[in-house]
Structure 1
């Protein structure tokens, strides 16, 4: 996950200009399949990650407009409850997060779920193919105008999340900050952003005493727990933040709300506010690929395989996303992956 190339297409002036153009013309896609639409048994459906759900809603709209034989539909991570992903499918609990999406993928067949959206990389095992399409970065956010400083070091961020630093003025670089207790929030268990962020900080514990009991939905500063919460700190997908704040991709609860990621990490601004992208100078420690995950057996299947490859493959004959999705990827705040888009890594 961390061996991400710095050859990102968004670093060019042309790509930045393209991002602005797309942002001005593309409107947010609706969540879940459109009202009144039941995906056909032969259509492709995905579940899982919150981080890339907005992008996949946009991908559904763009791809389906080309008239493919098998259309693509994405089910959001929330609200909680049961869904019947496609015609004739089993009814399942709506998967919320990368790991839940991957579990649902492997607990069912193509009759119910075809793709898991994932913001975490492959783990040990060879059941699935992890197919990357873009690069994300995970940074930190805090209550806008609250007590959090504008800048943290990696050591301080780690110290906050392992409970070494419990008040703002205990941070080595901020001795005159507020003496308020830091309210440390982390997304729900199973969240790819949660596992990646803690891994980047070198934290292996599943819980820490200073973590708040409430686990807000990732990338949603609109959660009521953040309202007026001047001491809150929360990890955030910087791509998702850019899409929400600058490119009009947020809707409903899927917005930055009370939080902002306009912060500095190790002396680097997380967000390039001039070009309205996350800063490619951030340490690779905080960057990750984002994936669509499919069953290896489906990829090789004579019927299911061509449907998946038409959307996700990287060959010249197939793979709409890697061949045609560059401006769409940029408009949702992600950085381009280049030649690695559509490659496959075994995992689970």
Structure 2
């Protein structure tokens, strides 16, 4: 399979016979390809989990799952109109937040949603979307009687990435520290950079996030701090870990173009901006990095991961299990300092056994011990860790009130 097809959504309808690229997905059909393909369960949202959900859709098969990219897999355009089911059209959501928004709109609660996402002019019709991929938990939207259930299925961690590997700058970035106990006031150098915009000194080099071009005051070196695009679950997650509530003017979601930050949009887990900016760092999913290294839609563009130092213990946490930083081998370090569960969001009533609205097909994919949770080899191959031991409190497929959201719909 070529790179273009690896980037598109996998959707198997009625078995695997012929493949057709349509609306950003691959369709396997037993008869002539339809111009308006029909998915069983349609999903949208997170960039972080789009590739592993591709693999899961392939492995589950039988036309059950159709999971659409966060951006157009070929042109890279945002928010183009797609058709997931017959008589359904909607703007493609880019990221976890937009995916959940579209899912809620598809549940016919558009009036209860505070706003659409950028460029969303074609809202999904009722029932057009069945699940949303999310790399962040319910957050402030958590409600024990919420309509929507966040169902965890894998472990991820987030590291800092840059274009540097094996040089002095990489050594310094590998020595950045993080305070895991108190992010709002944490004293880690990474938090001081992102949250406070203060210059920090690492191995004798001072990095100033508010200086864009050398020379900087006091001989400091400029550092460009990036976050992913608005709507990204990783953006929300990272800001929370940095202790940021309002994005400060020294943190950017567009690239430095030589004069200001109006360049290329920073897509999560895509190294395009970092490749062009030797002064840039950005959060990058370790699972996504491993997945891309393993040949699944590689868009790293020479982005390299960095370690983090626990500011309270001075212990160094490498992102990978191999001989890092000498070589970038191995998989996700499941003990990395900045870890998270990743989720699929579905309507709670549809996966609540005994509820009148219970949907056996939805439960069979996302419930505990069901289809997705039985694909451990797929989850690992796409870079993620397993939740068998509940490292962050939940096992795969857990449906619990603490992970419900949006009581008002």
* TM, length-normalised to structure 1: 0.79
* SS in structure 1 at match of 2:132: strand
Structure 1: distance between partners of 2:295 and 2:302: 17
Matches within 5 A, 1:99-138: 99-109=97-107, 111-122=127-138, 123-125=141-143, 126-138=146-158
**Residue in 1 aligned with 2:192?**
159
- CA drift of 1:213 comes to 5.1
**Superposed counterparts of 1:162-181, under 5 Å:** 162-165=195-198, 170-176=199-205, 179-181=220-222
Return the alpha-carbon distance in structure 2 between the equivalents of residues 138 and 239 of structure 1.
8
Partner Cα separation in structure 1 for residue 148 and residue 103 of structure 2: 9
Equivalent residue runs for 1:41-52 within 5 Å: 43-52=40-49
Deviations 1:1-44 (A, max 9, x none): xxxxxxxxxxxxxxxxxxxxxxxxxxx84412451535426x10
Distance 1:213 1:29 in 2: 26
**Residue deviations 1:178-197 (CA, integer Å, cap 9, x gap):** 73311111111221111111
Deviations 1:148-184 (A, max 9, x none): 523210111111112433xxxx423332367331111
**Are 1:332 and 2:382 matched, yes or no?**
yes
The question of whether the paired residues in 2 share the 8 Å contact of 1:88 and 1:111 is answered with: no
Residue 314 of structure 1, CA deviation: 1.1
- Match in the other structure for 2:237: 196
Match among 220, 228, 236 for residue 284 of structure 2: 236
- 2:202 counterpart SS class: coil
Q: Is the 8 A contact 1:39 1:73 kept in 2?
A: no
Superposition deviation, residue 96 in structure 1: 0.6
Alignment partner of 1:321 is 2:321: no
Counterpart Cα distance in 1 of 2:386 and 2:149: 20
Following the alignment from structure 1 to structure 2, what is the Cα–Cα distance between the partners of residues 35 and 230? 36
Say whether residues 1:258 and 2:292 are aligned partners. Answer: no
Alignment match of 1:270 (pick from 319, 327, 349): 319
SS of the residue 1:46 aligns to: strand
Q: 8 Å contact 1:29–1:61 — kept in the other structure? A: no
CA contact (8 A) 2:162 2:274 kept: no
Q: Work out the CA distance in 2 between the residues paired with 1:144 and 1:87.
A: 47
Name the SS of the counterpart of 2:21 in structure 1: coil
Structure 1 residue runs without a partner (length 5+): 1-27
- Secondary structure at the aligned position of 1:45 is classed as strand
Q: Can you list the C-alpha shifts for 1:192-217, whole angstroms capped at 9, x where unaligned? A: 11111111122222x21212350400
2:398 aligns with 343
* Closer/same/farther in 2, CA of residues 163 and 193 from structure 1, 3 Å limit: same
Equivalent-residue separation in structure 1 for 2:201 and 2:221 (angstroms): 15
Cα distance, 1:120–1:213 mapped onto 2, change above 3 Å: closer
Which among 211, 215, 238 is matched to residue 251 of structure 2?
211
Superposed CA RMSD = 2.4
